[in-house]
Chains A and B, each alone.
Chain A
Amino acid sequence: MTKEVQLRRGTTAQVFAFTGQVGELTPDTGLKRLVLHDGVTAGGKAIDAARGWIDGLGLANNATAPTTDIDIGRGQARDSTNATIMELTAKLTKMANVAWAAGNNNGGLFNTGFIGVAARYHVFLIEKDSDGSIDVGFDTSQLAPNRPAGYTRYRRIGSIQTDGSGVVMGFVQHGDLFLWTSVPALDVNDAALGTTRKTYSLAHVPAGVEAVALLNVYTAGALVFVSHVEAADQSPSITAAPLLTAGNVAGVSRATMAAHFMVKTNTSGQITARADASPSTLRVAVVGWIDQRGRNA
């Protein structure tokens, strides 16, 4: 014979104000989680997924309307404040070029007006305060300030971009890795890089958040060291640290290319580079990026 066991339980507010016995577990029926008590602390400690948790929620260009619509796969993520877990239980499709409206196959643009040209948007999972329903939308800010009223909780789950015609650029996602399906025009084409370090802003990485850019790099005429902006200003070398990212060895006419070289970008999408001779040519194409999608925020 089975027995049904029920624990002392309550809404989120009730559990938050409750001081349970040492080792007591109380279900929070609002956030659907267990809280462990220590006999002294009101609200105890939630037993929940790890801080910053995200699983699934993969993004893809919609097969039928790849230049305007984004598919969002089912999955879970903690919200930006780590207060709760939001779950998208079925795939959603949202139109990036239409003002946001709740539900599948509806608009997803939080910002007013039309979708931008050569613009970068962040993709957010949002939760409606009144009924807990989950939706998705697009905002130019990494903090989703333009999300609809009544949706307090949000989580950034990725980024998309439009090209010079205002259509959504093609990409594929594998976890935190995003790759352009067609590598866009050069982000950097500099024929005057010298022995003084230069900072370059990249266009084809997310804006407003740090990421790891995956780059193809070409140089002619020198050794070049490409690095993140916080790195020490070191000169490239073929014998000593930091060595080089790409370069020509003296007397050899070929240029060297480094495929899928990785470098961290700052929140302004910037990297730095320095050559050992002036002038030198540096060309950089962004192949893709790695995005923590709100973890460690």
Chain B
Amino acid sequence: MTRYVERDGQGRITGAYAVRQPGRAEEALADDDVELAAFETPAVPLNPVDARLAADPAVAGLVRALAKRFAVSPATLIDEIKAETR
């Protein structure tokens, strides 16, 4: 399937479309193009809570201790923390 891409002044892809966008995105690329694929499926950013847990063993230990103290699973406690930090 062809995608039509838009590029910025440095030549980087900034947009991809199912049909040509006149004057803006007229360059056709196959959907298996490496550069296009990298643009269309960027790495999903880690949730800030998950990122902090992964980066700081002390925080992860605190979560485990609190989960044990309140008799809930660490996963449940982490979900509650995420809900509180939205």
Q: Hey, which bits of chain A sit against chain B, CB under 8 A?
A: 118, 163-164, 184-192, 198-204, 252-254, 269, 279
Alpha-carbon distance between A191 and B8 when the two chains are bound, in angstroms = 10
A191/B18 in contact, CB under 8 A? no
Closest to A190 in B: B15
Residue pairs across A and B with Cβ atoms less than 8 A apart, 24 shown, are A164-B2, A185-B1, A185-B3, A185-B18, A185-B31, A186-B18, A186-B40, A187-B17, A188-B15, A188-B18, A189-B39, A189-B40, A190-B6, A191-B39, A192-B6, A192-B15, A200-B17, A200-B21, A201-B17, A203-B19, A252-B86, A253-B47, A253-B86, A279-B14
Known contacts A185-B1, A201-B17; can you find 11 more A-B pairs with CB under 8 A? A187-B17, A187-B19, A188-B18, A189-B40, A191-B15, A191-B39, A192-B15, A200-B21, A201-B21, A202-B18, A203-B19
Alpha-carbon distance between A203 and B12 when the two chains are bound, in angstroms = 23
Q: Hey, which bits of chain B sit against chain A, CB under 8 A?
A: 1-3, 6, 8, 14-22, 24, 31, 39-40, 47-48, 86
Contacts of B40 in A (CB 8 A): 186, 189
Closest to A120 in B: B19
Contacts of B31 in A (CB 8 A): 185
Closest to A198 in B: B24
User: B33 to chain A: closest CB distance in Å?
Assistant: 14
Contacts of A279 in B (CB 8 A): 14
Contacts of A190 in B (CB 8 A): 6, 14-15, 17
User: A78 to chain B: closest CB distance in Å?
Assistant: 32
Closest to B40 in A: A189
Contact among B1, B8, B20, B48 for A192, CB-based, below 8 A: B8
Alpha-carbon distance between A163 and B1 when the two chains are bound, in angstroms = 8
Alpha-carbon distance between A279 and B12 when the two chains are bound, in angstroms = 14
User: A54 to chain B: closest CB distance in Å?
Assistant: 28
Alpha-carbon distance between A279 and B14 when the two chains are bound, in angstroms = 10
B39/A204 in contact, CB under 8 A? no
B16/A186 in contact, CB under 8 A? yes
Instruction: Using A163-B1, A191-B39 as known contacts, say yes or no to A204 and B6 having CB atoms under 8 A apart.
Output: no
Specify which of A118, A187, A188, A204 lies most central, judged by the most chain B CB atoms within 10 Å of its CB.
A188
A189/B86 in contact, CB under 8 A? no
Interface secondary structure of A, over-half rule? loop
Alpha-carbon distance between A189 and B1 when the two chains are bound, in angstroms = 15
Alpha-carbon distance between A57 and B6 when the two chains are bound, in angstroms = 40
Closest to A251 in B: B86
Contacts of B8 in A (CB 8 A): 192
Alpha-carbon distance between A186 and B39 when the two chains are bound, in angstroms = 13
Alpha-carbon distance between A206 and B70 when the two chains are bound, in angstroms = 57
B18/A204 in contact, CB under 8 A? yes
User: A251 to chain B: closest CB distance in Å?
Assistant: 10
Closest to A253 in B: B48
Contacts of B21 in A (CB 8 A): 199-201
Closest to A220 in B: B45
Contacts of A254 in B (CB 8 A): 86
Instruction: Using A192-B6, A192-B8 as known contacts, say yes or no to A187 and B18 having CB atoms under 8 A apart.
Output: yes
A201/B14 in contact, CB under 8 A? no
Contact among B2, B3, B14, B19 for A191, CB-based, below 8 A: B14
User: B17 to chain A: closest CB distance in Å?
Assistant: 6
User: A202 to chain B: closest CB distance in Å?
Assistant: 7
Contacts of B14 in A (CB 8 A): 190-192, 279
Contacts of B22 in A (CB 8 A): 201
B18/A184 in contact, CB under 8 A? yes
